[in-house]
Structure 1
Amino acid sequence: MNNLKDKVALVAGGTRGAGRGIAVELGAAGATVYVTGRTTHGSPSEYNRPETIEETAELVTAAGGVGIPVQVDHLEREQVRALVDRIDRDHGRLDLLVNDIWGGELLVQWETPLWKHDLDAGLRLLRLAIDTHIITSHYALPLLIRRPGGLVVEMTDGTKEYNDDNYRDSFFYDHAKSSVIRLGFAQAHELRAYGCAAVTLTPGWLRSELMLDHYGVREDNWRDAAAREPHFVISETPRYVGRAVAALAVDPDVMRWSGQSVSGGRLAREYGFTDVDGSQPDCWRYLVEVQDAGKPADTTGYR
């Protein structure tokens, strides 16, 4: 599967979670993938997690692509500018930008009203979730629009339909994730004249490294977490949303998705890919029709 050979991608925020899954799947399709983040060997971020951008880049290369780790704080304009300048010098092109920068999990005070939430933590969350995406696109888009067919994927949590109808249990989290959807919509409008697309994409209930640790399970025994949270049975690996991005990247008619907010599950039905276990979880439909409806956990018809 070398559909993306000779294509250059930037996965901004590729240290772990969805970003890592996306980078690896792009590598499996043959792409050269610049993987950015703050955590490197010997230089952890405020998360103090073990995952590093070097590990992600190694996984990209092992999958069949070329992984290039670059330490970048996407709130620092000069670091982002230097990153894009490097990609330009190395390749003279950028075919795919994935804005997956986040870093706000430790800052959210769930089910805490705005006036009680730590204001500094909330405002930093917004900067990490929104400003990073804007800064990165500001510097990267001039390189991306040199060739028609470029694609921007804005990563968020929740589709527009779901977020419009549901409060996400935190003023700051709700605002952050809904704002990213609008970032994708606005970029689609501005990129259209250049023959480039922008799509906002959400994974489902992601079995990220953080989530597995939260439930005290590993990927090989993740179903044990259902004893604590039955609806976890709808969860998916980060590779699933990675396959969604890869499918968009090779679609010659990707402009049909431009400006839309879609889920990995919806794209799986459209393109026919599956998660690594062969299943096809449709998390956002499950959340509405089963979990939010108060029904017992049952994935029949949803994966």
Structure 2
Amino acid sequence: MNSNTGKKVALVAGGTRGAGRGIAIELGAAGFIVYVTGRTTRGQKSEYNRPETIEETAEQVTEAGGQGIAVQVDHLVPEQVKKLVEKIENEQGRLDVLVNDIWGAEYLAEWNIPIWEHSLDTGFRMLRLAIDTHIITSHYALPLLMKNKGGLVVEMTDGTSEYNAKNYRLSVFYDLAKTSVTRLAWSQAQELKDYGCTAVALTPGWMRSEIMLEEFGVKEDNWRDATVKEPHFIISETPRFVGRAVAALATDPDVEKWNAQSLSSGQLGKHYQFYDLDGSQPDCWRYITEVQDAGKPADATGYR
């Protein structure tokens, strides 16, 4: 049993890069012990074949003021997830926050391809990575989380329930993946409420992840250059912004008020008054609805 009594414990499942890394770092900054899981380590890459590793994320958690612990886990393998939760229980005796951010399907989406032409193999792989991983992780982790009142589950998705209910996400499989995760959060909220625990769905805005920056051929320090190619990228945010959203929820003694809700980083930024690394407060989903989807010229004035 760990001697760090009083320190809260979080599991960021899928914390190798992107939102998961931003969330892990901000939970570290809030003083959490953070278990960071993923498939890519310094000694082994996943099918992504990308350079980011769980060890890097864990080190950044520690640098931020927390304690980062990297554990290689494939969340599609129940036995690996079971052993992970046993490890957390043996080492810490508690779990206060579960962030289900496993995804791993950026390179599988076939945009604007109808279901009768879309690859079934990649489509079903996307659904397994997006949904099965979250269910498996919750199955094993929730009994530990439920031991203490005030436990929090954050299901990471793309798009608010309101936005996704009105907009097709350009692929049947992607659309189903993201709306299913939101419903999964709602379902878990019904099962957890009698135990004094909370479950929410949370979406970042247009996030400047490592993959997105690479897609536009820019880095974080010159990200605005990407607006030449895509003007609406002006509303984008760093992964740390949604990380601060999770940290705000995780440290709110009244977090139960959000139970079963679909939330966004921009919405929570306004509520809790936190800001992105550049001091801005991007409200992406309102911008997308009122500016981008409305066919207006790109202008983030009043949305940051």
Task: Indicate the TM-score class for this superposition, using the shorter chain for normalisation.
Answer: over 0.9
1:10 Cα deviation after fit: 0.1
- Tell me the equivalent position of 1:223: 224
Runs of 4+ with deviation above 2 angstroms: none
Residue identity in the other structure for 1:284: W
Task: Tell me the CA shift for residue 119 of structure 1.
Answer: 0.3
Instruction: Look up the match of 2:57.
Output: 56
CA RMSD of aligned residues (A): 0.8
Distance in 1 between the 2:206 and 2:37 partners?
23
Report how many residues are paired. Answer: 300
Letter in 2 for 1:206: M
Shift of 1:231: 0.2
Corresponding residue for residue 289 of structure 1: 290
User: Is 1:128 the equivalent of 2:94?
Assistant: no
1:10-48: CA deviation from partner (whole Å, max 9, x where unpaired): 000000000000000000011000000000012000000
Partner SS for 2:140 = helix
For residue 278 of structure 2, give the secondary structure of its aligned residue in structure 1.
coil
2:20 paired residue number: 19
Deviations 1:199-252 (A, max 9, x none): 100000000000000000000000000000000000000000000000000111
| Aligned equivalents of 2:255, 2:124: Cα separation in 1 | 34
User: Counterparts of 2:269 and 2:207 in 1: how far apart (Å)?
Assistant: 15
SS in 2 for 1:106: coil
Report if aligned partners of 1:5, 1:31 keep a CA contact under 8 Å in 2.
no
| Structure 2 stretches lacking a partner, 5+ long | none
**2:73 aligned partner:** 72
Confirm whether residue 258 of structure 1 aligns to residue 245 of structure 2: no
Partners of 2:22 and 2:217 lie apart in 1 by 20
Q: TM-score, normalised by structure 2?
A: 0.98
1:188 counterpart letter in structure 2: A
Q: Aligned equivalents of 2:30 and 2:220: distance in 1?
A: 23
Distance 1:208 1:176, change over 3 A: same
Paired amino acid for 1:90: E
Aligned to 2:165: 164
> Is structure 2 residue 277 aligned with structure 1 residue 276?
yes
The residue that corresponds to 2:156 in the other structure is: 155
Tell me the distance in 2 between the aligned counterparts of 1:107 and 1:37: 18
CA distance in 2, matches of 1:189, 1:71: 31
Between the aligned partners of 1:100 and 1:240, the Cα distance in structure 2 is 15
**What CA distance in whole angstroms lies between the structure 1 residues aligned with 2:8 and 2:155?**
19
TM-score of the two chains, using structure 1 as the length reference: 0.98
Contact 1:5–1:29 (CA under 8 A) maintained in structure 2:
no
Q: Which amino acid is the alignment partner of residue 149 of structure 1?
A: G
1:207 alignment partner, SS class: coil
Query: In the alignment, which residue of structure 1 is the partner of 2:175?
Result: 174
Residue-by-residue CA offset, 1:98-146 (whole Å, 9 max, x unaligned): 0000001111110000010010100000000000000000000000000
Asked if 1:83 is matched to 2:84, the reply is yes
Measured in 1, the distance between the counterparts of 2:7 and 2:189 equals 24
Q: Percent identity?
A: 72
What SS class does the counterpart of residue 68 from structure 1 fall into? strand
Q: Is the 8 A contact 1:154 1:180 kept in 2?
A: yes
Does the CA contact (< 8 Å) of 1:28 and 1:64 recur in 2? Answer: yes
CA contact (8 A) 1:239 1:276 kept: yes
Q: Secondary structure at the match of 1:107?
A: coil
- TM superposition shift of 1:5: 6.4
SS at match of 2:107: helix
Give the aligned residue type for 1:233. Answer: I
Residue 278 of structure 1 aligns to which amino acid in structure 2? G
In the other structure, the counterpart of 1:192 is 193
Between the aligned partners of 1:112 and 1:268, the Cα distance in structure 2 is 35
